[in-house]
Amino acid sequence: MAPVPGRGHPQCARRYSTLKPPIWAIGGLGDDVPDKNRRFSGISAGFVLPNRWLGGSKLYFDPFLWRRRNRVGTWGGVVAPAVRHYAGARLWGDVGPVALDWTVAHQYGNFGDRPIRAWQVFAAQTLRLGTDKSAPRIGIHADYGSGGGGYNRGTLRNAYAPFGNNIYFSYGLFLTATNIKVVAPNVSFTPIDGVRASLEYQFTWRDDAQDAVYRANYTPYVGTERVAGKAVAQLARAQIVYSISPRLTLTTRAEYLKAQEVLKRAGYRNSAFLATWISFRF
């Protein structure tokens, strides 16, 4: 929940939520029923930090405490009830020409009779090279999702995000924030009026060499848990957004995944992704 902007003193917004995700069906209107095996609940708060901090800033601090219950959790081919708690916070906003978005989450709970102890850390920052809002930006994001225990006994250290945007790690949804380390320098610029381009090159490793590499839907790349190595892939990607009119936008995304030692040893190859679409807002 985004806080309400303020000036000079902290303001706070709080939200408590509980929900059951739907089971998608194809029987027509009204066919999607609540999934009683999964439930998400928690509380989030949002604080506006004083804008005099750091010599002038617009920063927001959002702590959260969540709980996710899944009666049919799956790791390493084992199905068991899982309860996972998330305790963390997000700091985001602008400090002069620097835009930052940092999140840390500690995850704990139980998967069957096994304890869960996991971490996720996301740190994105960009620097605007000029005073205009459309000036070029250079940046880097470094991300971490702990791994380990998916194919062993003892503590489960595989991180799991209850929701999120996996295109942050791969346009083709090849990867997710589980058993992963990422460093990705990037640049965004406006080559001509109405067009915004972003280029990024991502280096990806796994955290635990005894655990698998996971896709965006949390299924493992079969065999990666049995091969040695840490380097997973390198990804080059580009996005071009053309604002045809205030309500009409054309977006194109391209990505090339270069498989590294872990994927190669498990029998996987390079892959390419290309998509384009038009969006109309009304």
Q: Which of 24, 118, 37, 43 is nearest to 82 (CA)?
A: 37
> Is 280 part of a structural domain of the chain?
no
DSSP-assigned beta bridge partners for residue 57: none
Asked if 232 and 260 count as a contact pair (C-beta separation under 8 A), the reply is yes
pLDDT in tens, the chain (282 residues): 333 333 344 455 666 555 556 565 555 666 566 777 889 999 999 999 988 877 778 999 999 999 999 988 888 888 999 999 999 999 999 999 999 999 999 999 999 999 999 999 999 999 999 888 789 999 999 999 999 999 988 999 999 998 778 899 999 999 999 999 999 999 999 999 999 999 999 999 999 999 999 999 889 999 999 999 999 999 999 999 999 999 999 999 999 999 999 999 999 999 999 999 999 998
- Which residue type is seen at 51? N
pLDDT of residue 132: 85
pLDDT of residue 57: 87
> Is 184 part of a structural domain of the chain?
yes
> Is 251 part of a structural domain of the chain?
no
pLDDT of residue 6: 39
- 3-state class (DSSP) for residue 149: coil
**E strand spans, 57-179:** 58-75, 78-95, 98-111, 114-128, 137-145
Beta strand 33-34 with 58-75: parallel, antiparallel or unpaired? unpaired
User: What is the domain range of residue 199?
Assistant: 12-234
> Is 254 part of a structural domain of the chain?
no
Distance from C-alpha of 282 to C-alpha of 279, rounded to nearest angstrom: 10
Total structural domains in the chain?
Answer: 1
Asked if 2 and 92 count as a contact pair (C-beta separation under 8 A), the reply is no
> Is 257 part of a structural domain of the chain?
no
DSSP-assigned beta bridge partners for residue 23: 33
pTM recorded for the entire structure: 0.86
pLDDT of residue 182: 98
> Is 256 part of a structural domain of the chain?
no
DSSP assigned state of 217:
T
pLDDT of residue 153: 85
CATH assignment at residue 138: 2.40.160.100
> Is 112 part of a structural domain of the chain?
yes
> Is 240 part of a structural domain of the chain?
no
